[in-house]
């Protein structure tokens, strides 16, 4: 297992930058460049990189789709949000018509996690093989239903790839494409499942759409055990802690602070904030990241090791 590549990181609903948001970035960049000269392209790029990610880049707006880079010939994904469309295009650009095998692990079948599949071009190509794993009995029916009339013009049966659905039992190890995969049940409307991927001494956790009620130490401990020693934890940090346990309690999501606490207790090395709130601007998400990094400093007591904290964005890659 080589790493993780994020194709979609936004929760609930895909979003796009508006014209006014792009204009604000350009104005900030031009204003910052006033009076400067850039002798080389490297100088210019260094200036742009120094602007901060919220100005020089964007977190993106595709809904959840995360690639686990196996290091082998097969592709592995978590969820089929709209990020799976550019993923599919990249696979076709790389391999052309050569058949490929895809293993997809589904957290659950809420709309934002399945809506990209009708636009996943490799699903239309004969010879490709797609294995879709998950804990939900409704896995196949949910994907079929979103392509049924009147919701979509192309029926699921028109997909020419071989598509197989595989029901997983939680808390059991499976060997898939050279990785050991284990799922666990999470708190979310209709249930969701987190995944633990292990290979070559490296571990990645994908835990999204998971609410932590914080009223039961043993339940927290269940997650600590699941996250134990992970090299990377991709974690649902959609809300502030106050929101997640007050006005948005029972909405099925978690917070940045809970992510830090669970990862610290588990001895994880890297927390990556994920499933971003769709109403948040790039500036708001950058602020959440900075605050989370500060909370990690405050929570680091008694000489404990530092937990690296990042925020996922569409196109981000994390090497293990």
Partner 1 sequence: MEFTSRKLADVVVAAPSGAIDHPNAMKVQQALAPFIEEEAAGRAPLVLDFSAVDYISSMGLRVLMMASKAMRARNVAMGIAGLQPSVAEIFDIARFRLVIDTFPTVRDALAAVSPAAASAYDAASA
- State the residues that interact with partner 1 by CB under 8 A: 212, 214-215, 217, 220, 240-243, 245-246, 255-258, 261, 265, 291-292, 294-295, 298-299, 301
Q: Counting Cβ atoms within 10 Å, is residue 317 exposed (0-12), middle (13-18) or buried (19+)?
A: exposed
Residue 271 CB, nearest approach to partner 1 (Å): 13
Nearer to partner 1, 34 or 298 (CB): 298
Nearest in space to 113 (alpha carbons), one of 92, 134, 130, 94: 134
Q: b vs e for 81-119, b when ≥16 Cβ sit within 10 Å of the residue's Cβ?
A: bbbbbbbbeebbeeeeeeebbbbbbbbbbbebbbbbbbb
Residue 212 CB, nearest approach to partner 1 (Å): 8
- Helix, strand, coil percent content, the chain, rounded in steps of 5: 35, 25, 45
Nearer to partner 1, 217 or 279 (CB): 217
Residue 117 CB, nearest approach to partner 1 (Å): 34
Nearer to partner 1, 74 or 243 (CB): 243
Nearest in space to 130 (alpha carbons), one of 144, 138, 120: 120
Contacts of 4 (CB under 8 A, 6+ apart): 66, 67, 68, 69, 204, 232, 234, 272, 317, 318, 320
Residue 214 CB, nearest approach to partner 1 (Å): 4
Nearer to partner 1, 160 or 294 (CB): 294
Antiparallel, parallel or unpaired: β 75-78 and 65-69: antiparallel
Residue 295 CB, nearest approach to partner 1 (Å): 5
Residue 243 CB, nearest approach to partner 1 (Å): 7
Nearer to partner 1, 187 or 291 (CB): 291
Residue 267 CB, nearest approach to partner 1 (Å): 14
Residue 260 CB, nearest approach to partner 1 (Å): 8
Nearer to partner 1, 147 or 310 (CB): 310
Q: 166 in helix, strand or coil? A: strand
Nearer to partner 1, 199 or 257 (CB): 257
Q: Spell out the alpha helix ranges (H) of the chain.
A: 19-33, 41-49, 53-56, 84-95, 111-114, 139-145, 217-227, 241-244, 256-266, 282-299
Nearer to partner 1, 92 or 299 (CB): 299
Tell me the CA end-to-end span of the chain in Å, nearest whole number.
8
């Amino acid at each position: 297992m080589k790493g993780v590549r994020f194709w979609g990181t936004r929760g609930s609903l895909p979003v796009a930058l508006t014209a006014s948001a792009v204009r604000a970035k350009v104005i900030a960049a031009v204003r910052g460049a006033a009076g400067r000269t850039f002798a080389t392209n490297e100088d210019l790029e260094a200036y742009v990189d120094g602007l901060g990610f919220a100005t020089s880049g964007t977190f993106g707006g595709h809904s959840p789709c995360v690639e686990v880079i196996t290091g082998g010939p097969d592709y592995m994904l978590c969820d089929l949000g709209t990020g799976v469309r550019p993923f599919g295009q990249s696979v076709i650009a790389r391999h052309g018509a050569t058949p490929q095998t895809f293993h997809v692990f589904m957290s659950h079948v809420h709309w934002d996690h399945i809506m990209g599949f009708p636009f996943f071009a490799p699903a239309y190509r004969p010879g490709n093989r797609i294995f879709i794993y998950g804990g939900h009995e409704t896995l196949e029916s949910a994907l079929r239903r979103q392509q049924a009339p009147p919701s979509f013009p192309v029926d699921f049966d028109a997909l020419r790839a071989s598509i197989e659905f595989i029901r997983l039992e939680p808390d059991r190890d499976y060997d898939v494409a050279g990785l050991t995969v284990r799922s666990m049940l999470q708190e979310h409307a209709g249930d969701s499942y987190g995944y633990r991927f292990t290979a070559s001494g490296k571990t990645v956790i994908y835990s999204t759409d998971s609410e932590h009620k914080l009223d039961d130490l043993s339940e927290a401990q269940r997650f600590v055990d699941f996250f134990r020693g992970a090299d990377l934890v991709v974690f649902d940090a959609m809300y502030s802690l106050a929101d997640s346990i007050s006005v948005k309690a029972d909405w099925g999501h978690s917070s940045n602070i809970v992510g830090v606490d669970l990862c610290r207790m588990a001895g994880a090395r890297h927390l990556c904030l994920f499933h971003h709130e769709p109403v948040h601007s790039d500036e708001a998400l950058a602020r959440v990241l900075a605050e989370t990094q500060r909370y990690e400093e405050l929570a680091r007591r008694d000489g404990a090791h530092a937990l690296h904290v990042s925020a996922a964005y569409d196109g981000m890659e994390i090497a293990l």
